[in-house]
C-alpha cells in the first residue's frame, strides 16, 4: 500500500527523512481493527517524529500520521482516537500510553490498524476531511479550554500563535462556547483571520491587552511565555500543551506566578470521551475545523513543507483515492 513514512531521523533537516512509497499492509491482530483511510491530517507531531522526538530509530521505517477518518471493516464511517494504550485495550500489560506513530504505524497510508477501542463513529454532519482534523489538534484545544483552563461562558481567553492547529481550534471552540477570545500572531493576515473566526481582537506578540484574561492557551513556549503570564488576572490559569519556539523562556516570571497565585497547567491530547464530546459539539453547533488545504497522499511532502515553514492557517488534510 502507498504511504508517507519516516525512513530516517534527521534532527536538523527533518524532511530529508520523509519518503513516499509502498509499505506492507497491516496484518490482523487480536483486539485491533483495520480502517481504510479516507482522510488524515498533519500535525507538528509528525515533524517532531522526523526529528526523532518520541520516535526511536529502531522503530523505523514508521508510517507517520496520528489523525484519520475512514471506513472500518464493517463498512462504518469512523474516526480514530490516536492515543494508544490509554485504556489498556489492545496492548500488552503494563504498556504505557503512546501517541500513534511512537510505537505503531500511522495514518498516512491507505490502511491503518488500531485497537478496536480506539474507533469512534463519525457524525454524519462531518465530512471525512473535517473529522480527520479533530483527534489531535482540536482535541488538544478542547481539553485545554474545557477541562484544564476552568473557564465558563463570558470569561476571557488569550490564544498565543494564531494560525497553528491548536490555536485556531481554540479560537473557534471558545467563540462557540461563549468565551471572549483574544489572539496574537506575528503575521497581520493571520491576525485578521483570527478575528474573522471569532476573536474579539488579535495583536502582535507581546502587545498589552485591553484587559487581563482568565486563561491563556499557550503552545508557542519560550517566545510568548512572559507575555502569557503577564496577561493573566490574579488567580488566572495558563494551560500549555507545546513549546514550538523552545521550552526555556528567558523570563519564567516565577515571582508573578506565586504573588498573583497563578496556575500553570500542562495538557496533552485528550481522552476518548472528550473526543466523543468534541465530535458531538461540532455536529450540534455547526462548528467545523479550519482547513488550510487538502492534498492527495502522494503530495504529502508539499504539506510537510508548508507545515515546516509555518505558512498554514488551520490544518492540512491528506486524502486517499
Domains, the chain, in order of start with CATH, read 2-134+289-319 (3.90.180.10), 137-266 (3.40.50.720)
Which DSSP category does 246 fall into? -
Cα(71)–Cα(73) distance, rounded to whole angstroms? 7
Q: What percent of the chain has pLDDT over 70?
A: 100
Residue 122, pLDDT > 90, answer yes
Cα(166)–Cα(162) distance, rounded to whole angstroms? 9
pLDDT at 95: 87
- Model confidence band, residue 100 (pLDDT cutoffs 50, 70, 90): very high
Say which residues have a Cβ less than 8 Å from residue 169's Cβ, sequence separation at least 6: 137, 138, 140, 141, 142, 289, 290
- Model confidence band, residue 87 (pLDDT cutoffs 50, 70, 90): confident
Residue tagged 492534498 (cell numbers): 295
Residue 14, pLDDT > 90, answer yes
Q: What is the mean pLDDT of residues 22-45?
A: 95
| CB neighbour burial string for 117-153, b if at least 16 within 10 angstroms, e if fewer | bbbbebeeebbbbbbbbbbbbbbbbbbbbbebbebee
Residue 281, pLDDT > 90, answer yes
Number of Cβ within a 10 Å radius of residue 188:
10
Cα(106)–Cα(118) distance, rounded to whole angstroms? 13
Diameter of the chain measured on Cα atoms: 57
Q: What is the mean pLDDT of residues 252-262?
A: 96
Residue whose C-alpha is closest to residue 64's, from 42, 79, 83: 42
SS3 state of residue 6: strand
Q: What is the mean pLDDT of residues 166-179?
A: 95
Cα(137)–Cα(127) distance, rounded to whole angstroms? 17
Cα(267)–Cα(240) distance, rounded to whole angstroms? 6
> Do 65 and 108 form a contact (C-beta atoms < 8 A)?
yes
Residue 89, pLDDT > 90, answer no
> Do 159 and 316 form a contact (C-beta atoms < 8 A)?
no
Amino acid at each position: 500500500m502507498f504511504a508517507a513514512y519516516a525512513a530516517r531521523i534527521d534532527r536538523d533537516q527533518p524532511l530529508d527523512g520523509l519518503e513516499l512509497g509502498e509499505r506492507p499492509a497491516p496484518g490482523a491482530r487480536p483486539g485491533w481493527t483495520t480502517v481504510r483511510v479516507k482522510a488524515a491530517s498533519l500535525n507538528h507531531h509528525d515533524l517532531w517524529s522526523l526529528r526523532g522526538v518520541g520516535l526511536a530509530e529502531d522503530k523505523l521505517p514508521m508510517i507517520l500520521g496520528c489523525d484519520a477518518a475512514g471506513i472500518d471493516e464493517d463498512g462504518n464511517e469512523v474516526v480514530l482516537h490516536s492515543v494508544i494504550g490509554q485504556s489498556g485495550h489492545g496492548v500488552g500489560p503494563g504498556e504505557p500510553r503512546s501517541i500513534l506513530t511512537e510505537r505503531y504505524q500511522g495514518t498516512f497510508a491507505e490502511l491503518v490498524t488500531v485497537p478496536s477501542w480506539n474507533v469512534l463513529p463519525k457524525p454524519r454532519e462531518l465530512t471525512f476531511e473535517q473529522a480527520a482534523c479533530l483527534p489531535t489538534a482540536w482535541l488538544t484545544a478542547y481539553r485545554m479550554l474545557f477541562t484544564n483552563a476552568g473557564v465558563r461562558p463570558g470569561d476571557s481567553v488569550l490564544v498565543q500563535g494564531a494560525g497553528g492547529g491548536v490555536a485556531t481550534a481554540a479560537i473557534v471552540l471558545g467563540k462557540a462556547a461563549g468565551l471572549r477570545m483574544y489572539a496574537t500572531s506575528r503575521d497581520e493576515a493571520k491576525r485578521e483571520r483570527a478575528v474573522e473566526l471569532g476573536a474579539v481582537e488579535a495583536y502582535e506578540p507581546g502587545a498589552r491587552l485591553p484587559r487581563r484574561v482568565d486563561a491563556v492557551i499557550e503552545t508557542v513556549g519560550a517566545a510568548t511565555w512572559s507575555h502569557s503570564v503577564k496577561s493573566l488576572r490574579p488567580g488566572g490559569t495558563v494551560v500549555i500543551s507545546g513549546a514550538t519556539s523552545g521550552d526555556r523562556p528567558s523570563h519564567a516570571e516565577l515571582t508573578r506566578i506565586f504573588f498573583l497565585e497563578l496556575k500553570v497547567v500542562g495538557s496533552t491530547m485528550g481522552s476518548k470521551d472528550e473526543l466523543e464530546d468534541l465530535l458531538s459539539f461540532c455536529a450540534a453547533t455547526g462548528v467545523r475545523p479550519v482547513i488550510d488545504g487538502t492534498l492527495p497522499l502522494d503530495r504529502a511532502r508539499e504539506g510537510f513543507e508548508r507545515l515546516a515553514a509555518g505558512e498554514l492557517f488551520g490544518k492540512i488534510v491528506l486524502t486517499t483515492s
